[in-house]
Amino acid sequence: MAEKGLGRATARHWAPLAGCAAALLALSGCLGTSGGSDRRSGLWVDPDNPAARQAREQRRAGRYAEAELMRRIADEPIAEWLGPHPRERVRFITESAAREHRTPVLVAYHIPYRDCGRYSRGGASSDAEYLDWIREIVSGIGERRAIVVLEPDAIAQVVDGCIPKPLRAPRLALLRDAVAMLSAMPATRIYLDAGNPGWIKDTERLVEPLMKSGIDQADGFALNVSNFQPTAVTRAYGRRLSLQLGRVHFIIDTSRNGNGPLTSVRGEGDDGKSGDMGAVRSASDGQESWCNPPGRALGDPPSTRTGDPAIDAYLWIKRPGESDGTCNGGPPAGRWWTEYALDLARNARLRAR
């Protein structure tokens, strides 16, 4: 794990986290008994995650090849996306992780007018309800270690105009309040989501909204959440934004970027078709490029050893195998989709050969 960025006071934040000698945040050095890439990261693996349950079912049914593919997802530390009334779930996760001397990754995704009313519509019905929801997360974490990715898409949707103008300033102020609440916790690290390189191409447009959202009180920003942009492209993008913000640190979601984004039109029976997934119908500027695109692959496994002082971690923030929405044959957003999970794992295996 790289040394902390400039967003918050390092002495106050880091001192309580030294659970293992000479470990920053105790992410790289506190190793438990779980499998997967957590041995390189100190991040917590949920032993009962959807992929793990699916792998057990497949093995019981004698589908050993599928079970082996599914373990490529099941054995990795993956973020937990929090639902309504999150206090008890957050407490369970952070207590489970603490017993293994590990750190869980949580995603707060409940902002009012979430996803501009599209596939992942929902969220809190008011600012007051949202802040109560954040208080539940704070209560559930307590003084235990946690990484919180705050509100995927929320800032980029302000920048791209998806959010109605009267709601933009209040949204940024709401995010700032959420950051202030979460940053008061001694062992919690907060990363504000900042979209991806394929969305807001000019990083300068993100600077003011991030400042208004409390990046100065956070530990950094998150990039490529639930998207497919290559790590190298995202790294360069993040470095530009980091410098514009005063060398703020960042994290990158590598969960599904092994083959990069969908960039070409394909048709039925095309050689680009992957596994049992259907073909896309439009070019990469349409929703098919980000909503369950076929032919994608798992990316590099989660790790806090990035080799870049500005990048705190490569994480799997999106759960590989959960649908982006009712597009390209997928179930509703957030629903587990076995066929897509297998496709991601199968393509990653082929890419590694």
DSSP code, position 34: -
Instruction: Say if residue 273 carries a ligand binding annotation.
Output: no
The alpha carbon of 263 is separated from its chain's Cα centroid by a whole number of angstroms, namely 22
199 φ, ψ (degrees, to nearest 5):
-105, -75
- Relative to beta strand 80-81, strand 105-108 is parallel
Instruction: Say if residue 290 carries a ligand binding annotation.
Output: yes
Tokens standing for 56?
């057990």
Instruction: Say if residue 227 carries a ligand binding annotation.
Output: yes
For the sheet containing 146-150, what is the strand order?
A: 80-81, 105-108, 146-150, 188-193, 220-223, 250-253, 311-315
Q: Does the active-site annotation cover 153?
A: yes
Report the distance separating Cα 137 and Cα 87, nearest Å: 5
The alpha carbon of 143 is separated from its chain's Cα centroid by a whole number of angstroms, namely 22
Instruction: Say if residue 14 carries a ligand binding annotation.
Output: no
Please pick, among 38, 153, 193, 219, the residue that the annotation labels catalytic: 153
Instruction: Say if residue 337 carries a ligand binding annotation.
Output: no
- 205 Cβ partners below 8 Å, 6+ apart? 159
Q: Does the active-site annotation cover 48?
A: no
- 20 Cβ partners below 8 Å, 6+ apart? 26, 29, 30, 101
- Under 8 Å between Cβ of 213 and 172: yes
- 143 Cβ partners below 8 Å, 6+ apart? 16, 185, 186, 187
- 185 Cβ partners below 8 Å, 6+ apart? 138, 141, 142, 143, 146
Instruction: Say if residue 318 carries a ligand binding annotation.
Output: yes
Binding-site residue set for substrate: 81, 199, 227, 290, 318, 322
Binding-site residue set: 81, 199, 227, 290, 318, 322
Annotated active-site positions, please?
Answer: 153, 324
